[in-house]
Structure 1
Amino acid sequence: MSVAEAPDHSRDSKEPRFGFWRRSYAMVVKEFIQLRRDRVSFAMIVMIPVMQLLLFGFAINTTPRNLPTAVLLQEDSDLARSILKALENTAYFRFTREVHDVAEFDNLLLSGKVLFGVEIPRGFERAVRRGDHPALLVAADATDPVAAGSAMSALNMVVQTALQHDLHIGDPSSPPFEIRTHARYNPAASSRLNIVPGLVGTILTMTMLIFTALSVTRETERGTMESLLSMPITPVEVMLGKILPYVLVGFIQAILIIGIGVLLFGVPVNGSLTLLALLSTLFITTNLAIGYTFSTIAQNQLQAMQMSIMFFLPSILLSGFMFPFAGMPVWAQYIGEGLPLTHYLRIVRAIMLKGATLPNLQYDAIALLALMLLAMTIAVLRFRRTLD
């Protein structure tokens, strides 16, 4: 063996004892120090499991109770009041509105302000006493079959049993009156009629947040931010330049999703396509503004992505996409009202399934506009601070 081919044991002989473990320990310490400095990542480690536990443990309810209900009471009698009390005793119905005509009754269901409507006709008590078996109407907003199904299935058994126990009228084998249920907007209780319109908002939320959340941080990491800041351009102009191109991208996505939903899944579009397009554009812009706000706060693209995930998780859980919104506790509903997806789900389902108009959707449209302006204001102010 030549000298050149001889193995070099000099490095092995100089290797300190336990050198491998010391170097590995140093790398572990380094990673912990870096993790401590990266506050966003550390918050994700702590907050995501806590958030999931709280949301799934307290906010999520697949058998919703105390659902908002309107009543059209055409006669004020003891029997009518007993019926309403019996309905409330089921724990499924909570009477929040008393209307005076059928038009107001229908408008509340159309706008989504109530999920059920109970109509007690004139002469109802006298017809019951005479044994005429009159009909009591219960109309349900069945766009969400999960929210409406349990309450409707409990009507006949619970209500009539309670009435016969309290009022001692009729024979248990022959109910003193008939309950006619009318499942509106989705009488077949098809889940895809509820899920497919909801996917429009869910997919747009995820993609729009990510697109703009990476915009400013990408400029910083590529080193092009200095050139951008040296230009005679205001923070508002920077924001609009970052957002407007993706409005078109989001609009194309919405057309694609809705088109597939209509052609492949048979989801109807009973309302105005123009109104749906306008409010979808508002929703897209709102999410882009929120994503842009994240990009002005985050220091790198990883943090921007983590912020987007932290926002998307409660959006999908508290908006009413996966679980009935009305069945959540009050504190969870307050949080949900601050999420753009909550309002857009009501809008897209109301337009596509109910044929709702702008007056029916006024509250949710104004809420989206307010959230958009709030996010843009924070983004501009935050961007100004990054200039200093």
Structure 2
Amino acid sequence: MRLPEWANRLWAMVIKELLQLRRDRLTFAMMLGIPLIQLTLFGYAINGDPKQLPTLLVAHEQTPFSRSLSTALENSQYFRLLPGQHGDAEADRLLASGEVQFAVIIPAGFSRSLQRGESPVLQVDADATDPTATANAIATLQQLTQQALQADLKGPLAQPKRHDPFELRIHRRYNPEGLTQYNIVPGLMGVILTMTMIMMTALAVTRELERGTLENLLATPIRPLEVMTGKILPYVAIGLVQVLVILLAGKLLFQVPFVGSTLLLLLGVSIFIAANLVVGITISSVARNQTQAMQMTFFFFLPSMLLSGFMFPFRGMPQWAQAIGELLPLTHFLRLIRGVMLKGNDLAQSWPHLWPLLLFILIMLLIGLKRFRRTLD
């Protein structure tokens, strides 16, 4: 049976598109790769109920009661107690740097007050910059007042049912009210900069490659590093304007506090913008057209958004996902910006988050320069 003429034309067009798709291997890989990444990340890496959160136990006395409390914390599965003896100053430092999520402080005289039935205070300091990461753990802490010392408080030490054996006093540091905008607004700064900086740079350079205008650079003494720097600098200014808008909106609309150094924030933002722009330059040296540049931008942006701790608690992810997240500049920028804005961190406390960004820039710059030189040749 002979097909109508319009069906033959349609079939020829379908064959033509399939052949073109087969030649564009990068697009075909993206069509398969992005769904697989989404399935893997959402199926295995994303966890809204983080456990084994690093916790510092500051025990000003070593008694059976303090040992029972530490055992109860570990048995809850939400707390991972760091080994060794620790003091109050160390607890403040580790909370400010983000190395621990909780600090449980057992005061001196705690056991004696328990034995007298005076309901002593057990203080728990929580890094509440991300309320989602601490919500379930804090809810578990509330049950400790009834269960932690049941085996120790028997006979004449048994407490009346009308009150708890001790008072649990939780201090939500850096975000006492547990407001999510304190966590989201600084994070949005990093997400917006990641998307716009990479996309604009990748498309700008790829557009010139498509039009052939970069060939004119071959007739000039300009070097690849100078070309990349000239491409990057205008977008640094655009990124700083975006940061200013986000900071003003966060302050005026959402009342997000800013307790740190403005100069340190600008330093961190500038380094982060440079990291994203170098990624955009590198993408443009690989992509053959603007469509591929967009696809590769999204391919980089999706893991950055999901594995950086912006949408889901970073410590709730499995170790392999955390290892990938540590390679992404957005992960370190979120820790840096939240530390400066909410905790008032100084340069020494921010340096552990700055040097990975600088190292990332160096590596991507070397890769981008190598490929960009090939592109110009």
TM over 0.5: same fold? yes
1:187 lines up with 2:176 in the alignment:
yes
2:13 maps to which residue? Answer: 27
TM-score by length of 2: 0.95
- 1:273-312 counterparts in 2 under 5 A? 273-312=262-301
The letter of the residue matching 2:101 is L
- 1:1-388 counterparts in 2 under 5 A? 18-96=4-82, 98=84, 100-158=86-144, 160-165=146-151, 168=154, 170-171=158-159, 173=161, 174-388=163-377
Alpha-carbon separation, structure 2, partners of 1:90 and 1:106: 24
The letter of the residue matching 1:223 is G
Alpha-carbon separation, structure 1, partners of 2:119 and 2:99: 31
User: Percent of counterpart pairs with the same letter?
Assistant: 54
Alpha-carbon separation, structure 2, partners of 1:54 and 1:259: 37
Alpha-carbon separation, structure 1, partners of 2:218 and 2:85: 58
Instruction: Decide whether the 8 Å contact of 1:63 with 1:327 is kept in 2.
Output: yes
- Aligned pair count reads 373
* Structure 2 CA distance for partners of 1:153 and 1:182, relative to 1, 3 Å: same
Instruction: Decide whether the 8 Å contact of 1:44 with 1:310 is kept in 2.
Output: yes
Instruction: Decide whether the 8 Å contact of 1:63 with 1:147 is kept in 2.
Output: yes
Q: Deviations over 1:236-278 (max 9, x none)?
A: 1111111111111101110111111111211111011111011
Instruction: Decide whether the 8 Å contact of 2:145 with 2:166 is kept in 1.
Output: no
How far apart are residue 53 of structure 1 and its match?
1.1
SS of the residue aligned with 1:164?
A: coil
Pick which of 215-224 and 267-276 moved more.
215-224
The letter of the residue matching 2:341 is M
1:4 maps to which residue? Answer: none
Instruction: Decide whether the 8 Å contact of 1:270 with 1:353 is kept in 2.
Output: yes
Instruction: Decide whether the 8 Å contact of 1:142 with 1:185 is kept in 2.
Output: yes
Instruction: Decide whether the 8 Å contact of 1:83 with 1:159 is kept in 2.
Output: no
Alpha-carbon separation, structure 2, partners of 1:236 and 1:99: 51
Instruction: Decide whether the 8 Å contact of 1:229 with 1:387 is kept in 2.
Output: yes
5+ long unaligned stretches in structure 2? none
SS of the residue aligned with 1:181?
A: strand
* Structure 2 CA distance for partners of 1:126 and 1:42, relative to 1, 3 Å: same
Alpha-carbon separation, structure 1, partners of 2:170 and 2:247: 30
SS of the residue aligned with 2:250?
A: helix
Instruction: Decide whether the 8 Å contact of 1:73 with 1:121 is kept in 2.
Output: yes
TM-score by length of 1: 0.92
